[in-house]
Amino acid sequence: MSTQLLFYAHAVPVNSQQHGNLYVKTGADFSFARQVNSVPLTTVEFRPAASHYVLVFAGEGEATMPVAILGAAAEQNLFVNDEGRWEGGYVPAFVRRYPFVFASSNDGKTLTLCIDEEFSGCNTEGRGERLFDADGERTQYLQTVLNFVQEYQAQFQRTRAFCVRLSELGLLEPMQATFTQPNGEKRNLTGFKAVNRAKLKELDDAVLANMAKSDELELVYLHLHSLNNFAPLLKRIGATPEAQAKAEGDSAMPLDEGDGAPSIH
């Protein structure tokens, strides 16, 4: 089976035999996400996320997905503090979904709910929410989790279609952000794509009208507006942005690879 992994260490199928006495304690500790410098987003998240993060596109072909940039170096999340608290105004659904995730069969036709047993909140001491009741039936909590992950997956598919549309229109191009670190060293953050404004303006009126009716145009402008968040992102490490939207170059710090999707406000 393949899973939508990033910070998942040991995801196994949820079942009453193995997890009949398992409790899950979630809360405000996001230490598990401290070493990821980007996480996937779905289009339904663009509006709340664009006010806080840089939204770009990562991946190739049908694997292209929007991501929120969280750090300016590998294994760096500037939005999780030393106490594990999330400092961004919006927590991406990919993060909130943890420790649960869907795994798909090799043919992609079957989805199985899994849980990362390495999650620190998993316990048998009664802390948090129980997954199954005494009769082995799923609890309301587990049903709520399943509903969330199902909606997450549905939004993921819609987002994939949006990315395919942008690619077919030739709007996505490799970009990089160049910045100066506190020690004076210039670095490039690469490995992502952004919509080319000039090519967007060159689209036929009919295409733009269809994009406006489907809300795709709003999503594009939310993405473009979010690029202004590079400066406050780099300010978190005392770095200074030198330029944005240039062709890719050297000194690369690529975004972490991952995939996923959510529902989600």
Instruction: Report if residue 263 sits inside a domain.
Output: no
Q: How confident is the model at residue 148 (pLDDT cuts 50, 70, 90)?
A: very high
pLDDT of residue 264: 32
Q: How confident is the model at residue 252 (pLDDT cuts 50, 70, 90)?
A: very low
What would the mean pLDDT of 110-120 be, rounded to a whole number?
95
Comparing C-alpha atoms, which of 226, 178, 240 is closest to residue 45? 226
Comparing C-alpha atoms, which of 99, 127, 126, 128 is closest to residue 114? 99
Domain range holding 67? 2-246
Instruction: Report if residue 177 sits inside a domain.
Output: yes
Q: How confident is the model at residue 107 (pLDDT cuts 50, 70, 90)?
A: confident
* Tokens at 230, concatenated: 């590079």
Instruction: Report if residue 228 sits inside a domain.
Output: yes
Instruction: Report if residue 79 sits inside a domain.
Output: yes
Max Cα-Cα span within the chain? 63
Q: How confident is the model at residue 124 (pLDDT cuts 50, 70, 90)?
A: very high
Instruction: Report if residue 258 sits inside a domain.
Output: no
Comparing C-alpha atoms, which of 105, 78, 102, 91 is closest to residue 28? 91
* DSSP 8-state code for residue 80: B
Instruction: Report if residue 130 sits inside a domain.
Output: yes
pLDDT of residue 242: 61
Comparing C-alpha atoms, which of 69, 66, 76, 90 is closest to residue 36? 76
Q: How far is the C-alpha of 118 from the C-alpha of 9, rounded, in Å? A: 6
Instruction: Report if residue 9 sits inside a domain.
Output: yes
pTM of this prediction? 0.85
Higher pLDDT, 109 or 24: 24
State CA 193 to chain mean position distance.
Answer: 15
What would the mean pLDDT of 175-190 be, rounded to a whole number?
84
Comparing C-alpha atoms, which of 27, 49, 48, 28 is closest to residue 38? 49
Number of domains in the chain: 1
Instruction: Report if residue 204 sits inside a domain.
Output: yes
